Amino acid sequence: MRSISRLSVLVCLLAISFSSRGEAGVFSGEITSVSAAQKQVVIKTTAGLEKTFLVPGDIPVTFNGKPAEFDQFKTGQRATIFTSSNGEIT
C-alpha cells in the first residue's frame, strides 16, 4: 500500500513539473509522434505522460551526439529535450 501511495505522489509531482512554467526542464522518453514538416515531436515519458514540442528552426538537433536533420527522428526512438525557464526548447 505504501508503494502505491509513493507512486501516486511521484506521478502527481511529475505532472505538476510538466505543467508548470518558469522552470527549466529536461524531458526524456520515447518519441510517439514526429512531424519533420512541422518540426513537432511528441514524447511519452517513463511516467506515461505525453508532451508535445515545437522545435524552432534555429535550434540545432543531434542524433547520437552528432548534428542531424529533423527527418532522421522516428517513432519509437528515445529522445531528450531541454527547455529554458520560459518553456522554450534550448
pLDDT, one tens digit per residue, over 31-65 is 999 999 999 999 998 889 899 988 888 888 888 88
User: 70 and 10 in contact (C-beta within 8 Å)?
Assistant: no
User: 43 and 78 in contact (C-beta within 8 Å)?
Assistant: no
User: 51 and 42 in contact (C-beta within 8 Å)?
Assistant: yes
Supply φ then ψ for residue 79, to 5 degrees. -145, 155
pTM: 0.66
Supply φ then ψ for residue 83, to 5 degrees. -120, 150
Q: Let me know if residue 64 belongs to a domain.
A: yes
User: 50 and 32 in contact (C-beta within 8 Å)?
Assistant: yes
Q: Let me know if residue 66 belongs to a domain.
A: yes
Count of residues in the chain? 90
Q: Let me know if residue 90 belongs to a domain.
A: no
Residue 16 domain boundaries: 2-83
Domains contained in the chain, number: 1
Q: Let me know if residue 89 belongs to a domain.
A: no
